[in-house]
């Protein structure tokens, strides 16, 4: 392959700010951080701030001080502590909300961080990056064991909950995915009826309770109970709203009853048999409490359940707190959607070729990092593909390290990782320093539209006014976008079919891109072609 000198990688990092309402003073707990009791409670770490959900209002009570981001959290019944991950660092979280580093794990998350996790019946913390790169962690020794049988990159779940021995999670498009840590297999139960599936927003927190109840919280605020999870027709019932956030993870004692104000829409008996003696005891006590009237399973009758309507934004007060959002619970650290001017377009010195010459032909069977320059997003080589795993921003780009060209054919084949395909290509970028003047050709609107547009002289994107309706790709379906750039015209093709022409030069470098979706690129080719002018 012919290429220029590899340039230093630009890391584009950012924070998104999210407000949470502190509706009560912080919990009075021991300064040493004692174990959590196995009591009703939905806990979430939100941008590093431990919090407890108040179902009556949908707001949160702070637990302890704000901390750096962590995720992949679960409650260990054996000792009562919460455990989570900050990168490769294992944390133990006491009931004062303090996260104590206790071990550095020997794990490989493919260039990212774990953000999915919960404890199994075996007392091990199972962690993953979405639905991939699974490990079982012995938190008493720091030993991490790879669990490849649970890898399932087709559907990404942001959090899981242990319901009677199996892990359940919901993908951004609303599919229920079941991970069995004993059998080491994965099953997709289908799209959950009643869930929002119109975008790739993550279901970033999940909890289970006595009686085999499963609850999930969408990052846009909706709180659901999922029933029928043991069969092929799961159903979601919205039971309230919380505060919207992009950065969160849920945990709680799975043997505790649902918190006060949280309904149990199918009653206290579990639809799957308890998998441990503790689970059997917890269900028996729960059924008895309901039959005796001590526990109400339908708080709506007493007015205790939180509002199912959209929450009303509250005026800022001195009790409100803000925390940086690194995208935990959605995939990976979010790069910025910052409105700031880029550097002006540099002069391009394009290489000329007298005959067709393949400069790059990659199928990613082996990692190929020296040929790619990450400009934004979270990119990693995984299972023979080159993945962009962020879902929370636009124009995540990785440039191909190759000569700038005036005439060429650039083609990329790719598929979605979570039901939404917003992948594409960037062409005609002058340099790594600025995207001003470059063209973007990609899928948008849940994959129903092929569009193209150009970045202006300050780097702001604008659609060129040409959009072509296409049949949206099915989940996991590989599609191909091709741009043939020849003598001042760009010929755009989709799946081998001509789609339109751009009357513009696109001299420069090329790259891959995705927006608000996790996308895996399967194959990429770049071929220099000779000019036909003269």
pLDDT digits (tens, 9 = 90+) for 340-369: 444 556 677 888 899 999 999 989 988 888
What does each C-alpha distance from 470 to 315, 449, 474, 491, 521 come to in angstroms? Answer: 44, 5, 12, 17, 19
Residue of 138, 128, 235 lying closest to 186 (CA atoms): 128
Topology agreement, domain 16-325 and domain 357-528: no
Contact (CB, 8 A) for 489 and 532: no
β-sheet with 175-180: strand ranges across: 161-163, 166-170, 175-180, 185-191
- The burial class, CB within 10 Å (0-12 / 13-18 / 19+), for 216 is buried
Band of the pLDDT at 28, cuts 50, 70, 90?
Answer: very low
For residue 123, give both structure tokens: 């007392």
Which residue would you say has higher pLDDT here, 326 or 403? 403
User: Which tens digits make up the pLDDT trace of 266-282?
Assistant: 999 999 999 999 999 99
Mind giving me the DSSP string for 227-287?
E-TTSS--EEEEEEE----SSEEEE--TTSPPPTT---TT-SS-SS--SSHHHHHHHHHHH
pLDDT tops 90 at residue 321: no
CA 483/CA 481 separation, integer angstroms:
7
Residue that wins the pLDDT comparison between 448 and 181:
181
Question: Reading across the β-sheet that carries 143-146, which strands appear in turn?
Answer: 116-119, 125-129, 132-138, 143-146
Gyration radius (Cα) of the chain, Å = 25
Q: How far apart are CA 16 and CA 359, in angstroms?
A: 39
pLDDT at site 96: 94
User: What's the pLDDT band for 199 if we cut at 50, 70, 90?
Assistant: low
Q: How far is CA 136 from CA 38, 94, 158, 324, 393, in A?
A: 23, 21, 17, 29, 31
Res. 441 pLDDT band, cuts 50 70 90:
very high
The domain 16-325 is classified under which CATH number: 3.30.1490, 1.10.1790, 2.120.10, 2.40.30?
2.120.10
Can you give the pLDDT at residue 72? 95
Cα separation, 291 vs 285, in Å, equals 10
**Gap between the Cα atoms of 469 and 280, Å rounded:** 54
Sign of CA dihedral 38, 41, 42, 45: negative
pLDDT at 503 over 90: no
Given the structure tokens 């099953």, which residue do they identify?
187
Higher pLDDT, 453 or 83: 83
Nearest CA to 416 out of 387, 448, 445, 375 is that of: 387
pLDDT for the residue numbered 349: 80
Contact 419, 200 (CB under 8 A): yes
**In which band, very low, low, confident or very high, does the pLDDT at 464 lie, cut at 50, 70 and 90?**
low
Residue 23: pLDDT over 50: no
Query: Given a cut of 80, is residue 203 above it in pLDDT?
Result: yes
User: For 130-166, how does the pLDDT look when each residue is reduced to its tens digit (9 = 90+)?
Assistant: 888 999 999 999 999 999 999 987 778 999 999 999 9
Rounded Cα–Cα distance for residues 30 and 444 (Å): 51
Residues 6+ apart with CB under 8 A from 145: 135, 136, 137, 138
When pLDDT is cut at 50, 70 and 90, the band that residue 194 belongs to is: very high
**For the residues 509-525, what does the mean pLDDT come to?**
95
The pLDDT score that the predictor gives to residue 344 is 58
Backbone angles phi, psi at 334, to 5 degrees: -80, 130
How many of the other CB atoms lie within 10 Å of CB of 292?
A: 8
Confidence category of residue 372, pLDDT binned at 50, 70, 90: very high
Q: For 357-528, give the CATH class.
A: mainly beta
Evaluated on CA atoms 385, 15, 517, 456, the torsion sign reads negative
Distance CA 217, CA 249 (A): 9
Give the pLDDT score at 519.
96
Beta strand 385-388 pairing with 423-429: unpaired
pLDDT class of 314 with cuts at 50, 70, 90: very low
What average pLDDT does this structure show over 31-56? 87
Provide the pLDDT for residue 369: 84
pLDDT at 346: 62
The predicted structure's pLDDT at residue 465 = 54
Give the integer Cα–Cα distance in Å for 144 and 134. 10
Q: What is the pTM of this model?
A: 0.58
Task: Please list the residues that pair with 427 across neighbouring strands.
Answer: 439
Domain chopping of the chain, boundaries:
16-325, 357-528
* Structural contact between residues 221 and 288, judged by C-beta atoms closer than 8 angstroms: no
Contact by Cβ (8 Å): 492, 482: yes
- Whether residue 3 is predicted with pLDDT greater than 50 in this model: the reply is no
- Does residue 43 surpass a pLDDT of 80? yes
Q: In which residue are the tokens 């981001």 written?
A: 69
- What is the C-alpha to C-alpha distance for residues 174 and 238, in angstroms, rounded to an integer? 13
**Cβ pair 71, 84 in contact under 8 A:** yes
Please give the backbone phi and psi of residue 288, each rounded to the nearest 5 degrees, phi first. Answer: -65, -40
Length of the chain: 534
More confident residue, 317 or 432: 432
DSSP string for residues in 310-349: PPPPPPP-TT-EEEEE--TTTSSPPPP----PPPPPPP--
Q: What does the mean pLDDT of the chain come to?
A: 83
Whether the pLDDT of residue 213 is over 70: the answer is: yes
Phi, psi of 239 (to 5 degrees): -115, 0
Number of H helices, E strands in the chain: 1, 37
> Could you tell me how far CA 12 lies from the centroid of its own chain?
18
pLDDT at 5 over 70: no
With a cut of 60, say whether residue 534 has pLDDT above it. Answer: no
Task: Please list the residues that pair with 360 across neighbouring strands.
Answer: 526
- Is the pLDDT at 323 greater than 60? The verdict is no
Q: Give the pLDDT score at 209.
A: 97
């Amino acid at each position: 392959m012919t290429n220029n000198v590899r340039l230093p990688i630009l890391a584009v990092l950012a924070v998104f700010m999210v407000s949470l309402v502190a509706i009560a003073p912080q919990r009075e707990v021991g300064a040493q951080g004692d174990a959590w009791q196995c009591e009703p409670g939905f806990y979430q770490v939100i941008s590093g701030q431990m919090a407890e959900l108040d179902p009556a209002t949908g707001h949160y009570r702070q637990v302890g001080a704000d901390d750096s981001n962590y995720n992949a959290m679960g409650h260990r019944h054996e000792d009562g502590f919460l455990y989570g991950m900050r990168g490769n660092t294992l944390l133990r979280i006491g009931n004062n909300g303090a996260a104590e580093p206790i071990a550095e794990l020997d794990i490989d998350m493919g260039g990212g961080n774990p953000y999915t996790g919960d404890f199994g019946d075996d007392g091990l913390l199972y962690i993953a990056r979405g639905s991939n790169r699974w490990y079982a962690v012995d938190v008493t020794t720091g030993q991490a064991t790879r669990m490849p049988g649970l890898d399932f990159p087709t559907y990404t779940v942001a959090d899981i909950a242990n319901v009677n021995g199996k892990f359940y999670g919901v993908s951004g498009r609303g599919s229920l995915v079941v991970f069995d840590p004993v059998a080491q297999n994965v099953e997709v139960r289908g799209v959950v009826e009643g869930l929002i599936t119109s975008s790739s927003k993550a279901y970033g927190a999940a909890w289970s309770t006595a009686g085999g109840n499963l609850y999930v919280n969408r990052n846009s605020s909706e709180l659901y109970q999922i029933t029928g999870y043991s069969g092929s027709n799961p159903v979601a019932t919205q039971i309230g709203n919380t505060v919207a956030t992009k950065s969160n993870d849920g945990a709680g004692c799975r043997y505790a009853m649902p918190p006060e104000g949280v309904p149990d829409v199918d009653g206290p008996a579990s639809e799957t048999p308890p998998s441990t003696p503790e689970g059997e005891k917890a269900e028996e006590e729960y059924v008895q409490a309901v039959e005796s009237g001590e526990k109400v399973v339908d708080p709506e009758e007493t007015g205790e359940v939180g509002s199912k309507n959209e929450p009303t934004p509250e005026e800022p007060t001195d009790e409100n707190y803000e925390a940086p959002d690194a995208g935990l619970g959605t995939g990976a650290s979010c790069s910025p959607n910052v409105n700031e001017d880029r550097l002006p377009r540099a002069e391009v010195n394009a290489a000329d070729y007298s005959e067709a010459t393949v400069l790059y032909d990659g199928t990613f069977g082996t990692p190929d990092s020296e040929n790619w320059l990450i400009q934004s997003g979270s990119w990693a080589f995984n299972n023979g593909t080159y993945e962009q795993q962020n879902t929370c921003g636009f124009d995540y780009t990785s440039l191909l390290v190759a000569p700038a060209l005036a005439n060429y054919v650039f083609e990329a084949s790719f598929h979605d990782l979570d039901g939404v395909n917003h992948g594409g290509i960037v062409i005609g970028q002058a340099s790594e320093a600025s995207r001003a003047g470059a063209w973007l050709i990609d899928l948008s609107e849940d994959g129903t539209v092929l569009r193209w547009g150009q970045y202006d002289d300050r780097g702001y994107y604008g659609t060129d006014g040409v959009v072509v309706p296409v049949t949206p790709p099915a989940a996991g379906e590989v599609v191909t976008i091709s741009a043939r750039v020849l003598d001042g015209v760009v010929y755009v093709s989709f799946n081998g079919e001509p789609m339109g022409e751009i009357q513009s030069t696109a001299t420069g470098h090329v790259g891959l891109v995705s927006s608000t979706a996790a996308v895996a690129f399967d194959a990429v080719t770049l071929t220099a072609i000779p000019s036909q002018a003269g």
